Amino acid sequence: MTEFWLISAPGEKTCQQTWDKLMVATTRTNNLSTNHKLNIPDLKVGTLDVLVGLSDELAKLDTFVESVVKKVAQYMADVLEDSRDKVQENLLANGVDLVTYITRFQWDMAKYPIKQSLKNISEIISKQVTQIDTDLKARASAYNNLKGNLQNLERKNAGSLLTRSLADIVKKEDFVLDSEYLITMLVVVPKTSYNDWNKTYETLAEMVVPRSTKMIIEDNDSGLFNVTLFRKAVDDFKHKARENKFTVREFQYNEEEMKADKEEMTRLSTDKKKQFGPLVRWLKVNFSEAFIAWIHIKALRVFVESVLRYGLPVNFQAMLLQPNKKNMKRLREVLYDLYKHLDSSAAIIDASMDIPGLNLSQQEYYPYVYYKIDCNLLDFKV
């Protein structure tokens, strides 16, 4: 289960008592959740007005940073292509897996100095993650273009003889070249019609060179044959071939062009390999940065919301619950019983009720401060 409930409740006589009560109610007797304290340092509170404004700003920032975290994770999965089972081991925060990072959360004093105001800290995070988002767009665009061009070339060199590029199949000796009168054509013949071809190709037009055909290659369905004829008979030959269900491929033997195609494919393939390593490294580093920023926003939100709800002086315990999947409904009920005294109005408010002036659709409302952290960041199961 990769979902966490980040909650806070006011300190009783001490914050330790609040913690002990939660442990007794949810863990010691009924195994509803695995719990951890979330340590939030002594942040600067500021004025009430600033806190109210910040509460809204942090909600938007939370949504934005979560979307960037998911984008980086998803792009990591796209870049790793065939190694998607390796995605999870690359999605780390500070070198550890996400669950470990969250459950052992320590505020990063160097990145987000607590001597700064709460607003400044949120602006530092906003700038940092906006930069990651901008860089990701640029890097993804460059890599996707490269990958797309390579795939187009690979597609040309794959598939059936009816559609694929013939440049890497034919050889110079398969053609009569530099002749004023003669031309060699390439024809795709279904396997079931080889006999028909051999019997009829000389008579499909008036000026076909006798015994000038041979099979160059075959795939599962058909074979590629060459045939030499006079240039003036080309249109007639094409028409008759079509009537007999033989497909003439438009192809001119040009060594320069064929060489350029091969070189382009080699170049793109080399470029993609060159960019792959640095790109994966960048994604790993910046996924970690964005995820760390996201969890710091959650901590900021709990702090701001707890001060707004429970008042000053700052006295609350932030707690991280990892619900037991089977008992989520029961856990919700136990938490309600434990904290309903904090807000009597929460007893009558059901998030599904539509009460004018009360916008509950965006956020579930409980008598305690509550935020969800969902670590399942990919839209597929690894």
Specify whether the CB–CB gap between 339 and 315 falls below 8 A. Answer: no
pLDDT tens, the chain, 382 aa long: 489 999 999 998 899 999 999 999 998 878 899 999 999 999 999 898 999 999 999 999 999 999 999 999 999 999 998 777 788 899 999 999 999 999 999 999 999 999 999 999 999 999 999 999 999 999 999 999 999 999 888 888 888 999 988 988 899 999 999 999 999 999 999 999 999 999 999 999 999 999 999 999 999 999 999 999 999 999 999 999 999 999 999 998 988 888 888 899 899 999 999 999 999 999 999 999 999 999 999 999 999 999 999 999 999 999 999 999 899 999 999 999 999 999 877 654 444 444 444 444 445 789 999 999 999 888 654 4
Residue 119 vs residues 27, 57, 67, 114, 371: alpha-carbon distances, Å: 36, 9, 21, 11, 20
Tokens describing residue 115: 């001597």
Domains, the chain, ordered by start: 3-150+276-349+361-374 (1.20.1460.10), 173-252 (3.30.70.100)
Q: What is the DSSP letter of 251?
A: -
**Confidence (pTM):** 0.80
Task: Give the torsion sign (CA, 356, 362, 364, 368).
Answer: negative
C-alpha to C-alpha distance for 207 and 237, rounded to whole angstroms: 9
- Beta carbons within 10 angstroms of residue 7's beta carbon: 23
Task: Give the torsion sign (CA, 238, 240, 242, 245).
Answer: negative
C-alpha to C-alpha distance for 39 and 7, rounded to whole angstroms: 12
Tokens describing residue 15: 């914050």
